[in-house]
Amino acid sequence: MALLDGKVALVTGGARGIGLAIASAMAREGARLVLVDNGSERDGKNPDESVVQGAANQMREQGFEVSAYGYDVADEASTERLFSELEVGGLVPDILVNSAGISRDRNLFHLEVEDFDAVVRTHLRGTFLFSAAFAKTLRKHKRGGSILNMTSLSGLLGNIGQANESAAKAGIYGLTRTTSIELQKYGITVNAIAAIARTRLTEDLPMFEKVQGTMEPEHVAPLAVYLVSPLAEGQSGMTLSVAGGRIAKIGLAESRGRTKQADVGLWTPQEIAENFEAISKM
């Protein structure tokens, strides 16, 4: 039996790049697909529903069951309508993959508020809206399920020219942690992947000139399937990175620190300076 037989997987950003690779891998493992992608350009402009319909048609030709919607993932009304339509049609998702994203890279000195808001809106607001709607639907039907979010190393470590994406992806990391705690009692796992792969958002980066064929969206898909499959049963709140053939677990680390006992624990700035090496030691 395939790993996802009988499951319905909803994948945002599922018409291209990492989202499409994940959706295809889940379909091969038996999942019924729901693709959501407004088909916009990489900066989020000029949406085109034919993009997601085209991807769905290609997958149907391979024998997969696919529904497709050209919705804006950050529009609340569209999200509510989608989940209502799916429920009426008997397609309550078991799996949610939040992979939709756009890119408007700018140095902080040139980053317009509009570009900051647009990226945060798609990545973070979109992930929140779909996660909330998905969780409410599963709770209503008293069913468990899996949420998989896409964060990034820029959100966890920072990157030049990506203050907007870093803020959004760091938010997704925090959202993953909190929702994994809140949804545990409902049998819903929540995990995240920080992927480095060649996509339309990253293909012009110099690093990909040297790694032809070794860091593709297809390298991300097996980890995604694992995290929403019975193989990862009970594992939640994790963030894993994948870059080509390398997979690693990521987590925040706190130093051992130092506690001041005297003066009811009130430090002076000078004392902090004198003890900073010990405070920082891991």
- Structure confidence by residue, pLDDT tens digits, 71-100: 999 999 999 999 999 999 999 999 999 999
CA-CA distance, 133 to 121, in Å (whole number)?
16
CB 149, CB 127: distance < 8 Å: yes
Is there a single domain that holds both residue 56 and residue 191? Answer: yes
Is there a single domain that holds both residue 30 and residue 107? Answer: yes
Is there a single domain that holds both residue 158 and residue 268? Answer: no
Is there a single domain that holds both residue 140 and residue 167? Answer: yes
Residue 33, domain member (yes or no): yes
Residue 49, domain member (yes or no): yes
Residue 113, domain member (yes or no): yes
Residue 1, domain member (yes or no): no
Is there a single domain that holds both residue 85 and residue 185? Answer: yes
Residue 127 — pLDDT band, cuts 50, 70, 90? Answer: very high
Is there a single domain that holds both residue 13 and residue 86? Answer: yes
Q: Which of 79, 75, 59, 78 is nearest to 67 (CA)?
A: 59
Number of domains in the chain: 2
Is there a single domain that holds both residue 15 and residue 123? Answer: yes
Strand partners, 150: 193
Q: What CATH code is carried by the domain that includes residue 163?
A: 3.40.50.720
CA-CA distance, 223 to 238, in Å (whole number)?
12
pLDDT at 206 (0 to 100): 56
Mean pLDDT of 265-272: 97
Question: CA-based diameter of the chain, in Å?
Answer: 73
Residue 24, domain member (yes or no): yes
What digits encode the pLDDT tens for the residues 212-244? 666 689 999 999 999 999 999 999 999 999 998
pLDDT at 230 (0 to 100): 97
